[in-house]
């Protein structure tokens, strides 16, 4: 076989195995073949065939040429099949005795061993050991037909060979059908588990990012409130001593600001675990993107950065949002790209526009990563009144954030 064709075939098999092992579809879309979707119908069908065969055989024997073997064999087979549903081993033994009893009593065991063939399929489909079922029932059918047809063919009687072959085929078919059914059930269960784990992970990641957003916003608010308190203190000192009403109002305002600052600090203590070193640092700003790019360059990335020297009019909330988006986008580019990226930051009178693009590494999916970081970026941009668009553009994966510069504005 051509080596290239062999590798292509192996690649296709591996791709199909990945598609089934970690399904991207919902569990409801994973369905077994039509004939396996109702396993109860398979069992009822086999039971119906056994019941009809027993009733028809007994009626035929009593109407045409009544004989003890013609009635005992089918009745024993039916009783053995019914018993095997609850007690497999005794039921299989009784099934194995049925064709032998019919042959010993001088009757053709054709109907009886046919019933045992369907019983073998039913039992192995329900999970009874295929090895012991095929061995006992196959040997019983072979011996019974050999005894009944002892004058023709001896031990190599063709009907006996057909009987044992059909028994083994029925046994293997029942076991294989059960295995295939359990395979599809396990795939469906794995799909449900994967979807549940993915949803749980997404919820956890979003909660972590929202907590991070809350900490950054509290840092910004705490800083602004502290500055406001300082201005109120200066105003209070500058007011003439005779203006008691203004001084009282300023003092009350400064006390309220101090109360807000204390509450903000208390909330920060709750939100920030003691072991979390990063959260103790001041909230980053848009100007820190330059240092962020340098840190990724130090990690081996080649980054083409187009960043303005000054960022006038960028508030603290917008600045920390732009920094976090750039941080997440460059992290994804480092993990899933080819080691290169382009960073561009543009300011307009009303908006900040940040773009990070990187070539998609060959063999990667169109949307690199798990997608949880993208969820966090969108959550953060929405908290600042902006938006984030992320996705493949040709051979690149591009993240574009648009943030309003005005307070309360929308991008």
Q: Which CATH number belongs to the domain containing residue 344 in this structure? A: 3.30.565.10
The full DSSP string for 98-130 is HHHHHHHTT---HHHHHHHHHHHHHHHHTT--H
Judge contact between 374 and 382, C-beta under 8 A. no
Same domain, 126 and 54: yes
pLDDT at 168: 92
Q: What are the tens digits of pLDDT across the range 155-201?
A: 667 888 888 899 999 999 988 888 888 888 888 888 777 777 777 77
Q: Does some domain include residue 9? A: yes
Enumerate helices (H) and strands (E) in the chain, giving the number of each: 11, 5
Of 128, 161, 193, at which residue does a domain stop?
193
CB burial class (10 A; 0-12, 13-18, 19+) of residue 332? buried
Whether residue 368 is contained in a domain is answered as yes
pTM metric for this prediction: 0.48
Within-domain flag for 251: yes
Same domain, 213 and 236: yes
What pLDDT score does 274 carry? 47
Identify whether residues 74 and 174 lie together within a single domain: yes
Q: Tell me, yes or no, whether 198 lies in a domain.
A: no
Task: Judge if 166 and 209 occupy the same domain.
Answer: no
Task: Give residue for tokens 């790019």.
Answer: 293
Q: Is residue 410 part of a domain?
A: no
Does residue 411 fall inside a structural domain? no
pLDDT confidence of residue 152:
53
Q: What is the pLDDT of residue 128?
A: 87
Check if the beta carbon of residue 333 is closer than 8 Å to that of residue 358. Answer: yes
From the number of C-beta atoms within 10 Å of its C-beta (0-12, 13-18, 19+), residue 96 rates as buried
208 and 331 both lie in a single domain = no
- Interhelix angle 88-104/110-125, rounded to 10 degrees, is 170
Q: What is the DSSP letter of 300?
A: T
Q: How many domains does the chain have?
A: 3
Domain for residue 79, yes or no?
Answer: yes
> Do residues 58 and 93 both lie within one domain?
yes
Q: Looking at the structure, do residues 149 and 91 belong to the same domain, yes or no?
A: yes
pLDDT of 369 reads 47
Mean pLDDT rounded to a whole number for the chain: 77
Give me the residues of the chain with pLDDT under 70, please.
1-32, 34-35, 65, 150-156, 210, 213-224, 226, 261, 264-283, 362-373, 407-411
pLDDT digits (tens, 9 = 90+) for 266-298: 666 665 554 454 445 566 788 888 888 998 888
pLDDT value at residue 184: 83
According to DSSP, the β-strands at 302-306 and 340-347 are parallel
Q: Are strands 340-347 and 351-359 parallel, antiparallel or unpaired?
A: antiparallel
Measure CA 56 to chain center: 51
State the pLDDT at residue 19: 44
Say whether both 238 and 174 belong to one domain: no
Given this model, what pLDDT does residue 23 score? 43
Is there a single domain that holds both residue 84 and residue 209? no
User: Domain check: are 362 and 383 in the same one?
Assistant: yes
Containing structural domain, residue 230: 203-279
Neighbour tally for 105: CB within 10 Å: 15
Instruction: Verify that 212 and 100 share a domain, yes or no.
Output: no
Last residue of a domain, one of 249, 279, 309: 279
pLDDT of residue 319: 85
**Token match 């039913």: residue?**
122
- Does residue 154 lie in a domain region? yes
Instruction: Check whether residue 20 and residue 153 sit in a common domain.
Output: yes
* Residue 363 to residue 136: CA distance in whole angstroms: 54
Of 279, 311, 343, which marks where a domain is finished?
Answer: 279
């Amino acid at each position: 076989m051509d080596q290239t064709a062999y590798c292509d075939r192996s690649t296709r098999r591996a791709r199909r195995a990945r598609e089934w092992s970690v399904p991207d579809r919902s569990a409801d879309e994973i369905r077994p073949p039509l004939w396996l979707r109702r396993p109860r119908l398979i069992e009822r069908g086999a039971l119906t065939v056994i019941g009809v065969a027993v009733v028809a055989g007994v009626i035929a024997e009593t109407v045409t040429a009544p004989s003890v073997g013609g009635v005992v064999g089918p009745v024993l087979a039916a009783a053995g099949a019914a018993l095997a549903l609850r007690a497999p081993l005794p039921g299989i033994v009784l099934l194995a005795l049925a064709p032998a009893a019919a042959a010993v009593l001088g009757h053709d065991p054709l109907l009886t061993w046919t019933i045992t063939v369907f019983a073998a399929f039913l039992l192995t489909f329900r999970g009874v050991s295929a090895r012991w079922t095929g061995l006992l029932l196959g040997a019983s059918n072979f011996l019974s037909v050999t005894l009944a047809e002892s004058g023709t063919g001896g031990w190599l009687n063709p009907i006996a060979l057909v009987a044992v072959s059909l028994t083994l085929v029925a046994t293997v078919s029942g076991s294989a059908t059960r295995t295939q059914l359990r395979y599809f059930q396990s795939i469906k269960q794995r799909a449900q588990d994967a979807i549940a784990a993915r949803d749980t992970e997404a919820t956890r990641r979003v909660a972590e990012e929202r907590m991070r957003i809350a900490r950054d916003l509290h840092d910004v608010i705490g800083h602004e409130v502290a500055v406001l308190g300082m201005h109120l203190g200066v105003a209070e000192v500058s007011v003439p001593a005779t203006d008691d009403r203004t001084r009282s109002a300023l003092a009350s305002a400064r006390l309220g600001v101090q109360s807000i600052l204390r509450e903000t600090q208390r909330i920060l203590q709750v939100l920030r675990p003691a072991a979390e070193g990063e959260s103790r640092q001041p909230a980053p700003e848009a100007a820190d993107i330059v240092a962020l790019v340098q840190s990724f360059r130090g990690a081996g990335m080649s980054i083409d950065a187009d960043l303005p020297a000054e960022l006038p009019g960028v508030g603290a909330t917008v600045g920390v949002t732009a920094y976090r988006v750039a941080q997440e986008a460059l992290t994804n580019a480092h993990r899933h790209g080819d080691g290169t990226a382009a960073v561009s930051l543009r300011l307009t009178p009303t908006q900040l526009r940040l773009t990070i693009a990187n070539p998609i590494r060959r063999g990667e999916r169109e949307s690199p990563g798990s997608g949880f970081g993208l969820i966090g970026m969108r959550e953060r941009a929405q908290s600042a009144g902006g938006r984030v668009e992320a996705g493949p553009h040709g051979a690149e994966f591009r993240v574009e954030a648009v943030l309003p510069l005005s307070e309360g504005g929308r991008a």
